[in-house]
Every structure is written in structure tokens, then in C-alpha cells.
Structure 1
């Protein structure tokens, strides 16, 4: 079991939780694109406490020292929040300030004195409180341009807010609205409206009143359909209706000709209207996690499209000449669909592409010549398919920095791998590989090499040339010995060699001064560990579960990784080395 029985045995060292991979496959939308800077808050639902834990002899999950955990948000002294609010209002009046920030003050109401700022206030921030509404006096703030009410418990708004004729930004995210308050439809000066994460199920036809809207976020509600009135919002640049229950998009969406971002991921869409072809300014189109089986042919008219995300639908083919027409398309996410053939037909169709993700499909073959004319492609993810071989022109994929071929049926990695000298991340996990080509030594920029779940019996000694390597994973193979040249990988931070047939660990491992994590668990023939392991001063996590280690003192083995390291450190020829 690869990740069991871990122990932190240098308690003075802080864990670094960073991802060791230089490539992270991002979500199409990270969920904060509609967040204005004025919120100055962590991502919603982001844990503010990394947690902590104690250590037993063999199992420790220590991420953060208990002493580091702090409770925030508690008020000190006897000063009440209402008094604090009144003082802030008074000070704003005296200073003739155009901005009033009453956020995170634990208030459930706002003093009527707010109306005294009617002639000056332009920005009012009330987020992260306990408000269920705002006082009708708020409607007297005739110069107000920004009203931030997110992260409260608001269920309604007073009709007097319709007097806010200058209001341009209204933020109602993370509240308890079951419907869009009627007064919102009367705020015709609005340019930005955030309604994310409420319980809204219906959007009224009165939406057509908001002709000045450029940004509309309806994300994470319970909306089943968008009204045809959406077509009246011709100034709209961004529409986010993701994470709802939409079954269709109205044909009138085609009237929103200035849209640059349309996000409808995580809905129940089964088809798209042909009018999407009118969205010629569209740059980002998010369609992940729907029920689409095809795209309308008219999508090829969206000539400014740069990002297209279609993950987790049921698409079997793309419109003819999609890539040929959309020459600005640089990122395509096609994973988790029903493709049986490579979704690119012409060799020059990927010439403008930066990244292509087609993992979790049923593709059996990569056509010859498809990637040889795509020097701009830096990331190709085609894991979890049915590839048994790679094309003869494999060595021409010279622009790649990330190549993920994991979970296929590859038995041989071509020697031409040596030509992909820009590779930084190479994933070959869960294939049928029995050996690696010596040409792998040419990948001097490689930082991540994933080889777990194959049939490797050894590693080529040339692996020692991969001096930039930070992560090496050979877990779950048939390896009996690790090459002595391993000690030359001075950048290595993570080494996984568990679930193999290792007889010993080379003494050269002591040269790995940057090694932080070592997994050698479940090697049934591993009887000893070298004293040199104690020289790895940055080592913080080690797994030895399932290894007999019969040549080590019983008390050290029973004490777990920490005791083993202490034994190697103080009962060895290197005990004087610090």
C-alpha cells in the first residue's frame, strides 16, 4: 500500500505542500473569476486550518504543528460591533470619504445613520456579516456605485434600492436568496451582477431591463432555464451560468454578440442552439460535465475562440474542420468523452495549439504526422485510452514539455524519446513496459518521471543523467536493484520505489541532499537499509511498511521510520556528521 505508515522524524522542519509537478491541469474555471478584488478573502470553502496530528510509533500524519493553529475572527474587549459601526460611519462623514467598509464586523443590521452619507458615499462593503436584508435608508445613497453584500444571509432586499440610479456593481454571492429580488431588475444602471451560490431557481423575463450588464454570474444556483430575455443583454461580455440544472440554452443567446466568456459547465445540456455561431467574439467556452453528444456545426464561426472545454460529455466526433476554422484555438479539453479515433484529422490542424487533453476515451491510435506539424503544442495528455503503440514520427514531437501516456497498453517506449529534449514531465504509469530505452538520458530538462504500475525489472544506469529530476516514481514494478547512479540525481525530492522486489538500497542514496520523501514500502526481500540514508538531512517522510528489515535492530524496526533513522544516524560511521 503505497502511502501507508508515514512518519515525520525531523519535527523542526516545516512541510512544504507544494505540487512537485510543474504542470497542473487546471479546471476550466477556478470558481473565482467573478470575484472582485475588493473582497480580499480566501476561496470559498477553503480550509483556514491545515490541521494537525499526533504521532504513534508507526503512523504519523503531521501536516501542521498544533501551536501554529490560530483562532481568528474573535472580538477582544467589550466593544460591541454596533458601536464600532457607528464610529466608522461618523468617521467616514467627518473625512468625507467615498468608501465605507463594514465587512466582517459580525453585524445583523445597519444603523439608520448610514443615510447621513447620502451625498458622498460611492462604495459600500458589507460582506461577511449576518445581514438578512439592508435598511431602506440604503436607497438614499444616491451616489452609490458599488454595493458588496456577499457572504451574508440575505433573503430579500427593500424596494427603496431602486433609487440607486448610479449603482454599477451589486454583489450578492453566498446568500440565501430563493429568487432574484424584484428591485434588482429595476437597477438599470447595473454593469456587474454577482448572484453566485444562492438558491435561485427562476430568472425572470425582467432581466431584459438590465441592458447595461457586462458581467452576469448565476453560478451555483438551482436554475433550470434561462429566459429568452437573455438575448436583450447585448453588452454582456461574461455570462457564468455553470453549476445549475440547465437543460437547454435559449436560441436568443446568439444576440449576445459581445460575449467573450460563456460558462455553462456542470449542467444537464443535451444540445446547443445553432445561434452560438453568432458569438464571434467568444474566447472561452466552458461546456464540461454536461450531456452533449455533438456540437452544432455553426461553432466553427466562433473565430476568436481560444479555449474550448468539453470534458465529461458523450461526444464521439467534432464538427468538420473545427480546427481549420478556429485558428486561434490554443487549448482544448476533450477528456472523458466517447472518442474512438484521434479527434484531429489533418496534420496542420494543431499548428496553433498549445495544449490538448483527450484522456479517458477509447482511442487506439495516434495518426502519423498529426503532431509533427504542431511545434506550439507543449502539453499532450492522452492517458486512460487504449494505445498499444506510438506512431513512427514520435521523435518529431519536439515542442512537448508535458507528455502523459499513462494507463494505456504500451509495451515499448521508442528510442526516439531522446529527441523530446524539452520534456519536463513524462507520465508512463500503468502500461506494460518491461524496460526503458537508454535514450531517456537525453531528457536533461525532465523534472517528473512517473513509471509506476509497469513490469520493469530494472532501471537503466543512464537515468543518472537526469540531473533536473525532482520526482521519480517506480512504484509497483518488479525492480530488484536501483542503479548506483541514483546518487547523482541531486535535485531529487521524491522517490517512490515501493511494491517491488528490492534486495537493497544503494549507499549512494546518501548523496541526495534534497530528498524529502522516500517510499520503499512492501519490498518483501528488503532486509537492511544503508547507514548513508541518515545523511539525507531534508528527509521528512518515509514509508517502510511491509519490509522485513531483519538486519536492523528489532527496537528500531518496531519504533517505525523515526526510530530507524535515529539508529542509522547515531549507530553508524556517520554519527559525527551533522
Structure 2
């Protein structure tokens, strides 16, 4: 009995001791926590006051003034390692699967591993959207490559070893930092497509003649001032992108590129074309000469437009459309003469029967000929920003018209006969006519009208509350108050 009592006492003593130990532990933990809290508050306070921690904050952790913990971004070296590891993984996968297409686009690659030389089976390599400043010479070992996409990088040159790519047909170097066409490119005689858009190229060398298989050449958005006569050797070209450069002339030899179906010279410094150039380019159906320095139409007569479907001469200094210039233009459907210095239209204006879209905005026209009714195919007619005070009622005969631009003029009224028969009209722009005080009830007959712009027109002959309601209120008012309410 006494032995059991002794054991019980020992148990009680041990239990009491354990409880005391736990209490001590709890107090110690509380003290540590309190100390840490005070330390954190001190750091926050110091941060607010601009003080620095004399001991130094724990590595890898930053405390912001709002008590949040901010982890620093991974070092660029770590990111590069991760990127390299991913690239090597893709290379290994391509090798194991014997794949012919390798897509490494948009993987933040700074440098290609030299082991890429082992992937001699690939025919397509996509590296666009990376951070490449150069290519390793080993890329020249990819002897079966047909497509090489390198756009949206920071390349300033290409290795000479690329001349080993004897099967390469497509090379895409758009959006890089090239100041010249890399010399090795001229040795890639198998190329059919070459994209060099959006670089800093200032010249094209005579060696261009070696790329005689090219069907597509885009060197637009560069700083090129001169094209070599050797461009005439590219007889297979069907597309040539030259816009947004600094060209002041086009070589006569371009007439040999008879497969061209589009010629776009927009935004250069060109004032004339070699005589007969356009007549020689018998397959060109789209011609853009906008934003240049032309003061007159290109020399060459009516035959130069016989195959043209779309002609854009916008933003030049042309003051006259020559009589008969479109007499052979049987397929001309779109003509843009916006922002020139036209004061009148040619006497044969009414013979442009194939015209579907005609833009004469921002010129100095004071009159539209009565034979405008001859434009029987016209669907879009833009006369905005001229010196017109009135319009011929015969515009109302253009029953295919869907878009009519009459804004920014000196119009005093809109004739009843002009709008009453435009049953297919969908868009009417009358904005910025400071002398336009009324609208005809006949507008209510334009049942398909969905857009009408009347900004900055006084329209004082209409009730102010109706005008304030906008175009839809005005149309409804004209329908209900006019003589045609039974017809609409």
C-alpha cells in the first residue's frame, strides 16, 4: 500500500514538473513573439521615417511600409538558366522524336545552344519573339532547313555560315536591328520569300541580283534611299513591299519584274515614275503612290492603268486629273485622290462607269459636274472638305450609293431630289457644315440609313429639342411631320 502511495507521489511530482516546464516554454515563446513583433514594428516605423536597419534585414525578404512582405524577383541569371534548361529540353525532345519542325518562339532566349547543330533533320525553325542579338555559327549546320523565322529579336547581323542552308526558301527578319542586309543573305540563292520589314536598313546592294528566285520581297519600313538597277533581275517577284522608306526614285529596270500584281510605294519622296514603267507591269492590279511628292499623274498615258483595279494617290500635290487618263481603265473600281490640290474634275468624269469607290475629300473643288450621274456603279462617294456650296441633284440618280460624305463644306441646303431616291443609302456624313440650317423631309425615304453625322451643323429650321436628341430623333421627326409618313 505504502509502495503504491510512493509511486503516486512520484507521478504527481513529475506531472507538476511537466506542467511547470510547459508554462515556462509558453512564456518563452510569448517573449520571443513579442520581441519579433516589436522588432517588426520598429522596422516598419524606421521604414516610414526613412531609417535603415543597422543590423541589416534578413536576406531575401523585404518589409514594406504596409506591413506586407515582398519577395524580390528572381535574378536575371536564374531566369536565363531556367530558359536555357527549357530550350535544351526542347532540343532533346526534337532529337528523340526526329521532328522536322522546332518551335522556340517567345521563350525569352538570349543565346541558342550550340547543340542545335545536331538537329540536321529539321526543315522549319521558329525563333521569333525572343531576345537574340546574334546566332551561333552552328545554325549553318541545319542543311535541310526550309523556313527560318527570326522576327522580333535584336539581331544586328547573321553568321556567314548560313550560306550552308542551300534549301532555305523563307527567311523572316522583320522587327530586328539590322542596319544593312547581312551579306550572307545575298548568298541564299534558294530564297523565294524574304521579309526585312521594320529594321534600320539604309541601302540595298547590287548583289540582290543573285536572289532571282524571290517571289516576295518586303523591305518596307526601313530607311532605304536608293534601289539598285539589279532589282530588275528579280523577274519572279509577284509582291514587292517598298512603302515607308526614303526613296526619291524608282529604277527603270523594275519594268522587268512583269509578275508583280501589286506595287505599293506609299510614304517615300517620289515625284515621278520612269515613263512606261506601269505599262510594262501588265499584271499589277493595285497601285499605291500615296504620301509622296507627285505634282501630276505618272507619265505613260491611259495604257498604264488598263489593268488597275485600285489606285491610291492620296496625300500628294496633284492639281489635275488628265482628260482621258482612265479611258482604258475598264476595271478601275477604287480611286483615292484625297488630300491633293484638285480644283476641278475632267470633262470625261461621267465615263468612269466601273467606279465603285471614289474619294475626293480635302481638295479645292468648287463644283461637281452634272454628269456625275454616269457613275452608275458607285457605292461610296466622299466629297468631304472641299469648297462646295451646292451639289448637283443628279447625285440622286446614283441608286447604288451606300456611303455619301458631304462633311466639312459650305453647304447651305440639301436638295430634295438628291436624297429622295437614294434607297440604298446607309451612311450620310453632313458634319461641320456651318451654313446648313435644314434637312429635307425626303431623308425619311432613305429606309436603310443607319448612320447620319450632323455634328456642328446649326439645323436652326428644326425644333431645338429634336436636334438635341440626335440623328435618330431627327429622322423620326422627318418621318412623322413630312408628307411621306404613309410611305415609311
**TM-score scaled by structure 1?**
0.64
Tell me the alpha carbon deviations over residues 449-501 of structure 1, each in whole angstroms, 9 at most, x when there is no partner. Answer: 0011112110001001111111101111221244xxxxxxxxxxxxxxxxxxx
Matched residues in 1 for 2:328 and 2:144: separation? 48
Matched residues in 2 for 1:137 and 1:391: separation? 72
1:315 to 294, 308, 332: 294
Within 5 Å, give how 1:436-447 maps onto structure 2.
436-439=414-417, 440-447=419-426
2:98 to 116, 120, 133: 120
Tell me the alpha carbon deviations over residues 129-152 of structure 1, each in whole angstroms, 9 at most, x when there is no partner. Answer: 200122122221122111111111
**The structure with more helix, counted as a fraction of residues:** 2
Note if contact 2:212-2:233 (Cα within 8 Å) is conserved in structure 1: yes
Matched residues in 1 for 2:109 and 2:459: separation? 62
Note if contact 1:131-1:154 (Cα within 8 Å) is conserved in structure 2: yes
| Structure 2 CA distance for partners of 1:446 and 1:170, relative to 1, 3 Å | same
Q: Which moved more, 1:108-117 or 1:397-406?
A: 108-117
Matched residues in 1 for 2:459 and 2:341: separation? 30
| Structure 2 CA distance for partners of 1:506 and 1:261, relative to 1, 3 Å | closer
Task: Report the secondary structure of 2:185's partner residue.
Answer: helix
Tell me the alpha carbon deviations over residues 518-542 of structure 1, each in whole angstroms, 9 at most, x when there is no partner. Answer: xxxxxxxxxxxxxxxxxxxxxxxxx
Report the number of matched residues. 390
Give the drift of 1:375: 2.5
Q: Which has the larger radius of gyration?
A: 2
Within 5 Å, give how 1:46-125 maps onto structure 2.
110-111=87-88, 114-115=91-92, 117-118=94-95, 120-125=98-103
**Is 2:109 aligned against 1:131?**
yes
| Structure 2 CA distance for partners of 1:508 and 1:200, relative to 1, 3 Å | closer
Matched residues in 1 for 2:373 and 2:156: separation? 57
| Structure 2 CA distance for partners of 1:267 and 1:508, relative to 1, 3 Å | closer
| Structure 2 CA distance for partners of 1:198 and 1:473, relative to 1, 3 Å | same
Structure 2 unmatched runs, 5+ = 1-81, 477-488
Matched residues in 2 for 1:394 and 1:156: separation? 60
Give the drift of 1:323: 4.1
Give the drift of 1:298: 3.6
**Is 2:313 aligned against 1:352?**
no
Note if contact 2:301-2:325 (Cα within 8 Å) is conserved in structure 1: no
Give the drift of 1:320: 3.2
Task: Report the secondary structure of 1:504's partner residue.
Answer: helix
Aligned residue in 2 for 1:456: 436
| Structure 2 CA distance for partners of 1:243 and 1:504, relative to 1, 3 Å | same
Tell me the alpha carbon deviations over residues 401-433 of structure 1, each in whole angstroms, 9 at most, x when there is no partner. Answer: 111110100111111011111111110111111
**Is 2:376 aligned against 1:398?**
yes
| Structure 2 CA distance for partners of 1:287 and 1:343, relative to 1, 3 Å | farther
Aligned residue in 1 for 2:181: 203
| Structure 2 CA distance for partners of 1:172 and 1:390, relative to 1, 3 Å | same
Question: RCO greater where, 1 or 2, for CA within 8 Å and sep 6 or more?
Answer: 1
Matched residues in 2 for 1:237 and 1:417: separation? 44
2:171 to 193, 199, 202: 193
Structure 1 unmatched runs, 5+ = 1-104, 483-501, 516-578
